[in-house]
Chains A and B, each alone.
Chain A
Amino acid sequence: MADAPIRVTALTKRYPVRMGLGSVAALDSVSFELREGEIMGFLGPNGAGKTTAIKCVLGLLKPSSGRVRLWGLPPAHPSVRRRLGYVPESPDYDDAFTPLELLSLFARMRRLPGGRCDWLDLLARVGLSAWETTRIRKFSKGMRQRVSLALALQSRPSLLVLDEPTGGLDPLARSEFRSIILEESSSRGATVFLSSHLLSEVETICTRALILDHGSLVRQGSMRELLREENQWRLEFAGEAPASLAGRVSALPVTSTPDEAAGSGEYRELRTAGEDLQACIDELRSAGARITRVEPVYGRLEDVFLSATAGQREEEPERDQ
């Protein structure tokens, strides 16, 4: 299928309030698309509408308006479901079952080929090899989450939808989770849609990200595009900088690092806006400085996230209708 794994067009979801007399918008004309094989981060503060969007994508909620298509088909289409894996936020599978029983029962429900050996391998992959026949009631939250991941991976899905999959996990478990997700993407080419509050996690593994706030998409793009600070460039040079630059660069010097290996004395770096970049380079050169590096400035995802959601926090819109 040539269609995008997820294509969401002008998705709006309104929930009725006050006995159906009014409504509140959980999502307001959101549009985005996932490309085959990419890992898309889905960010937003609590109540931004991330879970609502995911439920619409999965066909669990019906959009008030707009369209959701997975490989060009509605989410409830059987051929779409066969290619889908979903890890919800902290699911609590019936604790009377063992992970092996759950995998066997889900395999029967999904009509998957494979048997006990395959499920044992899968449980080993998610770190539950010693626990396959232990009832889930004895499991910690992290172990339950691993069961959930095993169930999602069971059908070798083309699209993995993960809603806060690592919430409540310890750092080691989070790292293992990340490795599995990356492996799914790199070895099988699975597309991953990852909703998370852990910005460092998204920054590490995602190729693109969406930032949602108050039901609206406030930022989207590749990770490099998002992290690149607007119009800021970093210059690294060796030698003396002319005093005339002082007023036009944000820091002079920002840092200075001795480059002893090169034996060329002190290196300096400065930041400047894009329109001043050429003039800075010219002046540095005329002052006898040697330019060693010019690159755009990348920030942290946390800063991008905070700046993207700051405006919305300041002006709380009236969303009741």
Chain B
Amino acid sequence: MRTIRAFADMTMKMLLRRRTIYGISIVILLALLGISRVPSFDVGNEGRFILDFGMFGLEIGALLLAIGLAANLYPRDRESRVLLPLLAVPLSRAHYLLGRFAGAALVQMASLVAGCLGLVAVLAINGYAVPPALIPAALLLVVEGWFLLSVVFFFGFWTSPPLNAPLTVLLFIISQMSVREFVSLLPAASGAMKVIRLLLPHMDAFHIKDPIAHGETVPLLYFAVAAFYGLCYTAFILTVGLAVFRSRDLR
């Protein structure tokens, strides 16, 4: 565990010293500021508009952060040959994957929390109430971000960074679809399509922006169940990724 912590620390420092994280964070903050300036179509419900679009923006931000932070980590380690001394001496492959993931996940979490605080600030500046459910919603957003991060790591062992990003986005989109919607994309192969969709995650579990924006009460139990689902799926993806990584020769 100490080894993973040390490597996660190294990963965090490395990511914070790169410019990617600041670029994405600035885009997220600018988007949040921009939302408050966009005239709402629904007069009298500007607060709802800011919350709805703000949380949507943060969800997209989580996706961008996952790709921006992690898509290049493993390929760069291989290209620069840093992976070899790391895996030959101090780290096992599990240490490497978990350390890199933990470091990236903490940086992503910090960015998303900062984004949420930005959203709170925008609401407060514009004189709207901040719903208490925004706190568990932010935590669920972090879990969703971690899940997306694990997907990026997983694709990282299979593909190059230019392919990793579109594949992750594709999975993000498909995972929002219902089985029926997905099967309707290719009805001729409905059986295969159904199996594929069932194997993919159900990311609609993370959708809580609508009820929060509309003032509906989301039971805390649901947050717990959805977070548990997200964490288990993240663990599953990471483990499959680790199995792939362990089976790879480092030529």
Direct contact of A and B (CB under 8 A): yes
Partner of B81, one of A81, A89, A108: A89
Give the segment of B63-71, B84-92, B226-234 that binds chain A. B84-92
Contacts of A89 in B (CB 8 A): 81
* Residues 98-112 (chain B) with a chain A CB within 8 angstroms: none
Contacts of A92 in B (CB 8 A): 79-82
Given A92-B80, A94-B82, CB of A76 within 8 Å of CB of B92: yes
Q: Is A246 an interface residue (CB 8 A)?
A: no
- Residue pairs across A and B with CB atoms within 8 Å: the count is 85
Interface of B, helix, strand, loop or mixed by DSSP? helix
* Residues 1-49 (chain B) with a chain A CB within 8 angstroms: 2-3, 6-7, 9-10, 13-14, 17-18
A88 and B13 contacting across the interface, CB-CB below 8 Å: no
Given A15-B251, A81-B90, A91-B80, CB of A151 within 8 Å of CB of B3: no
A88 and B85 contacting across the interface, CB-CB below 8 Å: yes
Number of interface residues of A (CB under 8 A): 35
| Chain A minimum-CB-distance residue to B91 | A109
B89 and A85 contacting across the interface, CB-CB below 8 Å: yes
A81 and B3 contacting across the interface, CB-CB below 8 Å: no
Given A15-B251, A61-B251, A76-B92, CB of A105 within 8 Å of CB of B10: yes
Partner of A97, one of B14, B79, B88, B250: B14
Give the segment of A52-60, A169-177, A216-224 that binds chain B. A52-60
A110 and B90 contacting across the interface, CB-CB below 8 Å: yes
Q: Is B249 an interface residue (CB 8 A)?
A: yes
| Chain A minimum-CB-distance residue to B7 | A109
In the docked arrangement, what's the CA distance between A89 and B88, Å? Answer: 14
B6 and A62 contacting across the interface, CB-CB below 8 Å: no
B80 and A86 contacting across the interface, CB-CB below 8 Å: no
In the docked arrangement, what's the CA distance between A124 and B76, Å? Answer: 29
In the docked arrangement, what's the CA distance between A89 and B84, Å? Answer: 10
A93 and B80 contacting across the interface, CB-CB below 8 Å: yes
In the docked arrangement, what's the CA distance between A61 and B17, Å? Answer: 32
| Chain B minimum-CB-distance residue to A96 | B17
| Most chain A beta-carbon neighbours within 10 Å: one of B85, B95, B249 | B85
B223-251 CB contact bits vs A (8 Å, 1 = yes)? Answer: 00000000000000000000000000111
| Min CB–CB distance B100 → chain A (angstroms) | 12
B91 and A91 contacting across the interface, CB-CB below 8 Å: no
Number of interface residues of B (CB under 8 A): 26
Q: Is A152 an interface residue (CB 8 A)?
A: yes
In the docked arrangement, what's the CA distance between A90 and B7, Å? Answer: 22
| Min CB–CB distance A317 → chain B (angstroms) | 21
Given A55-B250, A61-B249, CB of A91 within 8 Å of CB of B89: no
| Min CB–CB distance A26 → chain B (angstroms) | 9
Contacts of A18 in B (CB 8 A): none
Q: Is A111 an interface residue (CB 8 A)?
A: yes
Given A109-B6, A109-B7, CB of A91 within 8 Å of CB of B92: no
| Min CB–CB distance A162 → chain B (angstroms) | 11
In the docked arrangement, what's the CA distance between A214 and B105, Å? Answer: 45
* Residues 47-91 (chain A) with a chain B CB within 8 angstroms: 52, 55, 58-62, 76, 81, 84-91
Q: Is A12 an interface residue (CB 8 A)?
A: no
| Chain B minimum-CB-distance residue to A102 | B10
Given A61-B251, A111-B2, CB of A84 within 8 Å of CB of B81: no
A14-25 CB contact bits vs B (8 Å, 1 = yes)? Answer: 010000000000
A59 and B88 contacting across the interface, CB-CB below 8 Å: yes
Q: Is A195 an interface residue (CB 8 A)?
A: no
Contacts of A60 in B (CB 8 A): 84, 87-88, 249-250
Q: Is A158 an interface residue (CB 8 A)?
A: no
A55 and B84 contacting across the interface, CB-CB below 8 Å: yes
In the docked arrangement, what's the CA distance between A154 and B6, Å? Answer: 16
In the docked arrangement, what's the CA distance between A60 and B91, Å? Answer: 12
A94 and B89 contacting across the interface, CB-CB below 8 Å: no
A108 and B82 contacting across the interface, CB-CB below 8 Å: no
Q: Is A298 an interface residue (CB 8 A)?
A: no
A84 and B84 contacting across the interface, CB-CB below 8 Å: no
* Residues 170-193 (chain B) with a chain A CB within 8 angstroms: none
Partner of B84, one of A76, A88, A96, A108: A88
* Residues 91-129 (chain A) with a chain B CB within 8 angstroms: 91-94, 96-97, 101, 105-106, 108-111
Contacts of B13 in A (CB 8 A): 96-97, 101, 105
Contacts of B89 in A (CB 8 A): 81, 84-86, 110, 152, 155
Q: List 13 A-B contacts (CB under 8 A).
A: A61-B249, A61-B251, A84-B89, A85-B89, A92-B79, A92-B82, A93-B82, A108-B2, A108-B3, A109-B3, A109-B7, A109-B95, A110-B90
Give 19 new A-B contacts, CB below 8 A, not counting A90-B81, A105-B7. Answer: A60-B88, A61-B249, A61-B250, A84-B88, A86-B85, A86-B88, A87-B85, A88-B84, A91-B85, A93-B82, A94-B82, A97-B13, A105-B6, A109-B10, A110-B3, A110-B90, A111-B3, A148-B85, A152-B89
Closest 6 CB pairs of A and B: A108-B6, A92-B80, A96-B17, A109-B90, A58-B88, A91-B81
